[in-house]
Amino acid sequence: MESFIAASIEANKEIAAILRDNDDDSLFYHDKEGDEGIGYGGDRSLKIDLLAEDIFIKRLSRFGRINSEERGPFGEGDDEIVIDPIDGSANLASGIPYYGASIALKRNGKAICSVVCNLANGDCFVKSFNEGYRRNLFSPERKPITRNLKPLAGVFEKAYSHPKIAVLLKKNGFKFRSPGALALSLAYARDVCFTLAAGRSREYDIIAGLHLCDDLYNFVSEKLIIVSADRAIFERLKSILIEGKA
């Protein structure tokens, strides 16, 4: 898996360099107007989304067939590579430093290698089968993905679309933020009290992140994801959101 991981890191470096040196605001405009500008995943594509996708295709297509948020499935190979080229592109276009890329290599329908990178600060999370580590995009030093023992808040992605859940969380004393990049928020699950997402989530958004934290307490359904490193918090959220025991 080392060659796949290395290629994924190099792709992220190339995209990060473009973002660092870019002076062309049009990269953050929609690629096309109307239905023609809607990517395969259902969101309107920015030019930077498509540029990042091209870079990943160039670097990773030799490892298997591609399934990308912008263009959907194409190519050949026994393995499948699921890519969200820019996770949190609205944040990127708005100057909010919480955006990155999500890459998962699937074999026989299951993720076996995942890379999630925060392009805003260089944080990278890597997992190959059951071995995971954390590194910086610009430093090869590997560090264990450790748990923050005293987090003060959780992450609730898509909170703006689910005000009733937000009220329930507040009522039960849970502090949370909604940063707007689900793959990243799953990758950071050990740093926060919990990571929660309500509503339908696409495979592009979650497969790599869930692989990174599949050893944590987690509940995943069609319309709800709960992940936490803390069993008591996890069980409390389940009782509130699934069993209705507020």
Point out the least confidently predicted range of 23-37, 58-72, 194-208: 23-37
The full set of domains in the chain, from first to last, is: 2-143 (3.30.540.10), 154-241 (3.40.190.80)
Write the pLDDT tens digit of every residue in 165-218.
999 999 999 999 999 999 999 999 999 999 999 998 889 899 999 999 999 999
pLDDT in tens, 99-147: 999 999 999 999 999 999 999 999 999 999 889 999 999 998 999 999 9
DSSP string, 139-176: EEEEE--PPPSS---EEEETGGG-HHHHHHHHHTT--E
Residue 43: what pLDDT? 63
Distance (Å, whole) CA 207 – CA 87:
12
Q: Determine the pLDDT at residue 35.
A: 45
DSSP codes joined into one string, 29-72: SBSSSGGGGB-TTSSBPBHHHHHHHHHHHHHHGGGSEEEETTTE
How buried is residue 95: exposed, middle or buried, by Cβ count under 10 Å (0-12/13-18/19+)? exposed
Task: For residues 44 and 141, give the distance between their C-alpha atoms in angstroms, rounded to a whole number.
Answer: 37
- The arithmetic mean of pLDDT across residues 63-71, rounded, is 89
